[in-house]
Amino acid sequence: TPLLHAAIAGQVQQVDYLCQKGANVDFQLRTSGETALHFAVLGQSFSVVQALLQHGAQFLPDGKGRKPLILAYTTGNQGIIRALQQADTGFMLRHAPRATPSPMQETSSEQSPPGLAHALQAGIVSGNLEFCQQLHASGCHLDVDLECGGCSPLILATRCEEFDIVKWLLESGASSTKVSCTLHGDALLYKTPLELLLSQSTKVGTELIQLFIDKFRGEGGDIFQGHLVFLAAESNNTTALGLLLEQREWLATRPR
C-alpha cells in the first residue's frame, strides 16, 4: 500500500497526508504481518514513527510475534525505543509502581517474547547495561537461551568480561548454575559461569567473585570441587583462589 511504501522510504509528510486521507494505519501485510510502524522502526525513521503514533498506530505483532517495541530493541535506537515505551500503555502499566511483584517478575519461565533474546545478546556483547535492563523490564527472562544453542546471558557476559552486566545479572536473579551449550561448554570444564570466571586471568574484584561464589552455593553448587581451585590456580586468578581456599578452611574448622 502507499502508506507502507512511504513508511519504508521514511517520507514523513507522505505518511501524514495518507493518514489524514483515511489510510489504514494498522494495515498488515498478509505474508509477514508487518505494519507501517514495523517498517518505520526497522528503518529507524524517528519522525515517521512519531507520525504513525500520533495517528493512532497500534502495537500489533507481526507474523513472528514481534511487536514494534521488540524490533526497536534489536536496532538499539534509543530515541525510537523511548517513544514507543511512552506510547505503549501496556509497557507503562507493567512498569508503574506497585506494592506487589508483577506476574512477569514472579514467573519462572525462561521463555521471552520473540526477538528479545537476540537483542539481549547484542546488548551484552556491546557492554550496554542500560539496554539490557530495558530488555529485562520488557519481559526478557534473565536465563533465556541465547542463539548459540543454550548459553545463558550470564555465561555470555562472563565470557565477554562485561562485569558490570555480570553483577547486575547475579543481583537480579540470573542462575549461576545453568551450564553452557554444547558448542561453548568444554566436555570437562567451563560448564557454568563460575567455572568460566575462574578460568579467566582477568583481574576481577573481590566483591564480584564473592557474590558469584555465594550465589553458586545458594543454588546448590559445590564450590569445594577440586577442579574449581585448579581452574583459579591455572589461570593465576589469585583473588578467586584465595576466596575459594578461605571457604574450604571455613568448612574444615566449622563445628560439627
Lowest mean pLDDT: which of 46-60, 113-127, 189-203?
A: 189-203
Record the cell numbers describing residue 251, joined without a space.
568448612
Q: Residues of the chain with pLDDT > 70: what percent?
A: 79
The values of phi and psi at residue 163, to 5°, are: -75, -20
Q: Is the pLDDT of residue 186 over 80?
A: no
The verdict on residue 87 lying in a domain is: yes
The backbone region for 205, taken as left when phi is positive above 0, alpha when psi lies in -120 to 50, beta otherwise, is: beta
Residue 111 included in any domain: no
Q: What is the 3-state secondary structure (H, E, C) of the chain?
A: CHHHHHHHHCCHHHHHHHHHCCCCCCCCCCCCCCCHHHHHHHCCCHHHHHHHHHCCCCCCCCCCCCCHHHHHHHHCCHHHHHHHHHHCHHHHHHCCCCCCCCHHHHCCCCCCCCCHHHHHHHHHHCCCHHHHHHHHHCCCCCCCCCCCCCCCHHHHHHHCCCHHHHHHHHHCCCCCCCCCCCCCCCCCCCCCHHHHHHCCCCCCCHHHHHHHHHHHHHCCCCCCCHHHHHHHHHCCCHHHHHHHHHHHHHHHHCCC
Question: Residue 116 contacts by C-beta under 8 Å, 6 or more apart in sequence?
Answer: 70, 73, 135, 138, 139, 140, 144
Residue 48 confidence (pLDDT) = 96
Does residue 21 lie within any of the structural domains? yes
Residue 209 counted as domain residue: no
**Confidence bin at 94 (pLDDT 50/70/90):** very low
CATH number at residue 68: 1.25.40.20
Work out the average pLDDT over 201-208: 77
User: Is 24 inside any structural domain?
Assistant: yes
Mean pLDDT (whole number) for 236-245: 82
Does 172 reside within a domain? no
| pLDDT over 50 at 81, yes or no | yes
What is the domain extent for residue 81? 1-93
Does 39 map to a domain? Answer: yes
Please give the model's pTM, rounded to 2 decimal places.
0.62
Q: What angle do CA 218, 219, 220 make, to 5 degrees?
A: 95
Q: Is residue 6 part of a domain?
A: yes
CA–chain centroid gap for 37, Å, is 23
Number of domains in the chain: 1
Cβ count within 10 A of residue 176: 25
